[in-house]
Chain A
Amino acid sequence: MNLEDKDYKIRVGLAEMLKGGVIMDVVSADQAKIAEQSGACAVMALERVPADIRAEGGVARMADPSIIEAIKKAVSIPVMAKCRIGHFAEAEILEALEVDFIDESEVLTPADNQYHIDKWKFKIPFVCGCRNLGEALRRISEGAAMIRTKGEAGTGDVSEAVRHLREINSAMKRLTVMSDDELFGSAKELASPIELVRMVARLGKLPVPNFAAGGVATPADAALVMKLGAEAVFVGSGIFKSSNPEKRARAIVTAVAQFRNPKAVADASRGLGEAMKGTSAASIPQENLLQVR
């Protein structure tokens, strides 16, 4: 692990460029164009959005390359795609397809229940989900160039993303006031490398961009996660499972860019039609949660 590696910095650099933006899940070239025209800073090319994966069940895998290629052709903004946790062959395919970012995602069915991908071996940057600081630091030690909260994808319920953001924030805050010997103890508790724990203690934040994902469905949800310290927002099912995707996409972009200005978020929230119906995350049995993967 070398966070000063020049190629790694170039990978983190693209994550820096996406800050303050919205990354939208899309399943077709047409949806990708809607996303770009609404002001999305990147799109995530998928075969099914998380809400459909949740509803239909079965094994969820990397998207068909033809979908990814059609989306790449349709837009000029960066195109991301998801591979299964631990499925480095899918990741190699995505790298060969020249997507701009790979999401090693719990939304897809994990391919390896023990190991994540060794992301240092790739030229393309990876984003990984986390629920807490230990998960975030382990993913960074494996080479992730961006971290996002897991939230509970496909629910339209933002509460889990909020829980994960708060959990990470307070764990980072605690590190900043610890002495050196306490940091060794924390590294052990977090099951994370001491170098990364020391870095967080010094910076008060992660050494890579920290975005929010999982359950964002309204402009207010987007503003909430930004106010809780997320540096950009992923929106999965929230846009294309709503009654007016064009309007909602635009409104969520506005809310992220103007999250400090409640009046602007209020204006953006007006007359959007119905949000995705969704499912309360608390009503989902433990074994069906995606975030525990």
Chain B
Amino acid sequence: MSSKLVVGVLALQGDFERHLFRLNALGVGGREIRSCEDIEGLDGLIIPGGESTTMSLLIDRFEMRGCLSQFCRQKGVWGTCAGMIMLAREIDDERVKPFGVIDIFVSRNSYGRQVHSFFADIEANLNGQIKRLKASFIRAPLILNYGSNVIVLAEYNHSPVLLYQNNCLASSFHTELDDDLTLTKYFLENFVLVYK
């Protein structure tokens, strides 16, 4: 992996540290993103898990909606859990204002509260190869429907949980909580490098 790559992780609130740790393990320069200035020179961006209401509020409070929205339309971006919610076209909760870059309709916390959070081994179709991923679903969102431009890479219980549209990848689960680098690598090779 090119050591010159710099990938940002939105660090206003949430699970940014584990993503930075995984990027670091792959020899990529990770950067905490807390303002528009931090986006300068980035090759890609991860929007982590966390609370989407909090993230959406803080994006507006710190006047980051414009620069993030623009970045999500140009470079490789990966949203995990709350991050996926932020990339969606529509959410079932008006407290969250998404960027609308992936044509999915998402229901927040749809698997239920924390007592219903779970771990699953799932199979994803990554570049024509079936890969097993260690997936943590934590108060996870559920994709209720998606448009024809969306490519689904993995399903769980007949619902899409990993998908992409153009330059944006989204997963409703977390792999960064385990030492599973498969998806991080896939994101770097197929999104960050492609849309650099």
Contacts and interface: CB of A to CB of B under 8 A. Distances in A.
Given A100-B139, A123-B115, A257-B12, A17 B61 contact: no
Interface string A74-87: 00111000000000
A36 B51 CA distance: 10
B165 interface: no
Interface in A26-44: 36-37, 39-42
Nearest to B34: A258
Interface string A215-248: 0000000000000000100000000000000000
Interface string B110-142: 001111011100000000000000001011000
Nearest to A231: B17
A100 B14 contact: no
Contact of B114 (A6, A19, A76, A125): A125
Contact of B53 (A36, A124, A260): A36
Contact of A13 (B16, B93, B136): B136
B118 A10 contact: yes
A37 B94 CA distance: 12
B138 A14 contact: yes
Contact of B117 (A10, A40, A231, A253): A10
Contacts of B54: 21, 39-41, 77, 253
A69 interface: no
B73 interface: no
Given A39-B61, A42-B51, A231-B17, A13 B117 contact: yes
Contacts of B114: 11, 14, 78, 98, 100-101, 124-125
A260 B38 CA distance: 13
Contacts of B81: 17
A253 B51 CA distance: 13
Which residue of A14, A78, A98 has the most chain B CB atoms within 10 A of its CB atom?
A14
A135 interface: no
B73 to A, nearest CB: 24
Given A42-B51, A260-B34, A98 B113 contact: yes
30 contacts: A9-B178, A11-B114, A13-B138, A13-B177, A16-B18, A16-B49, A17-B14, A17-B15, A17-B51, A17-B138, A18-B14, A18-B50, A18-B51, A20-B12, A20-B14, A36-B95, A37-B57, A39-B53, A39-B57, A39-B61, A76-B53, A77-B54, A78-B113, A98-B113, A98-B114, A100-B113, A124-B114, A253-B54, A257-B62, A260-B34
The main secondary structure of chain B at its interface with chain A is: loop
Nearest to B117: A10
Contacts of B178: 9
Which residue of B17, B49, B50, B54 has the most chain A CB atoms within 10 A of its CB atom?
B54
B13 A20 contact: yes
Interface string A29-63: 00000001101111000000000000000000000
Which residue of B57, B62, B114, B118 has the most chain A CB atoms within 10 A of its CB atom?
B114
Interface in A76-133: 76-78, 95, 98-101, 123-125
Nearest to B48: A17
Interface of A: 6-7, 9-14, 16-21, 36-37, 39-42, 76-78, 95, 98-101, 123-125, 231, 253-254, 257-258, 260-261
Contact of B136 (A9, A19, A36, A100): A9
Contacts of B93: 76
Which residue of A9, A16, A124 has the most chain B CB atoms within 10 A of its CB atom?
A16
Nearest to A232: B13
Nearest to A4: B178
Interface string B4-23: 00000001111111100000
B75 interface: no
B15 A19 contact: yes
A100 B114 CA distance: 5
B70 to A, nearest CB: 21
B106 to A, nearest CB: 13
Interface in B130-157: 136, 138-139
Contacts of A254: 58, 61
B184 interface: no
A7 B120 CA distance: 11
Interface string B81-113: 110000000000101000000000000110011
